Each structure stands twice: as structure tokens, then as C-alpha cells.
Structure 1
Amino acid sequence: MIAVPSKDRLLDRLPASEEARAFAEFLGAEFVDGADAFDGLSASDVRDHWLRYDGHWAQSGSDRFAKHVSEIITEWADR
């Protein structure tokens, strides 16, 4: 299960919710924190990856998340 982070969560540097982790455990699924796709970015960089006036990614944020997730899926497929 991949938890999709919000812009606010990244800006506040909050961990993934315990509910999301518990849900993955309930399902017997591996938990992946999607916030890892944005590791190392400054607050300004994080904001640049989201649309200014709503909670959706800009294209750059979507591309960054997709690249991160595709790498994880490739690792899973190679198991």
C-alpha cells in the first residue's frame, strides 16, 4: 500500500498516519510512504510541485511521484 502525501504533510514534515500503517498491516500489505518521493526538497521546492491554490500536484510533482512509485514496483516485480 502506498500512502500518498499531502502538500501540508510534507511542509509540516509529519509522518504517515498510523491509520494508514494499520490498514496496510490489516491487509497484509507492505506499507510504502509516498512522502519519500519528495525527500530532500526544501519547502519552496515542495510548493513548486503542487498547484498553487489547491491540493493537487503540478505536473512536476506527479512525475516525481510516478518515478518513485515505478522504482518501487520494479523492485517488487524482481522479488
Structure 2
Amino acid sequence: MPYISSSGNTNQRELDDIKQAINDLTNTIEGKHMRLEAILSQIIEREMITQDSYDKIMNLLIEFGKKKGWTK
């Protein structure tokens, strides 16, 4: 929990640490998103799912990524 001084201000170093933790978490999630896309591509190449199923999953991933600002 960040230290809050008697004036109500949070220590800047702790705020920076929190921002960095959020950035690290966002990067991890974004990396997992891209990895999942790669796994799905391999699955369709190996014909383990139908093209239709693949398209549905990819559309869900793309829409989710757009909401998070990870894809355009």
C-alpha cells in the first residue's frame, strides 16, 4: 500500500513503482495475447480445428485486443 503523507500526497517513488508494475502487467498480458494468436495459427495449420472455428476465435481475440489497444 502506498505511503500517504499527512498532506494526502502519495510518495512519487511509490507512484512510479505502481505505474511500472501496471506497465509490466500490461506487457505480460499483451505478450500472452500474441502467443495465443501464434498457437491458434499452428492449430489451424495442423488441421486440429476447422477454419470456421479458427476465424471465430481470432475475431474474439482481435476485438478484445482492440478494446485493450493492443491491435489496430
Q: Same fold (TM over 0.5)?
A: no
Larger Rg: 2
Q: TM-score, normalised by structure 1?
A: 0.31
Tell me which of the two structures has the higher relative contact order, counting C-alpha pairs closer than 8 angstroms and 6 or more residues apart. Answer: 1
Higher helix share: 2
Q: TM-score, normalised by structure 2?
A: 0.34
Higher strand share: 1
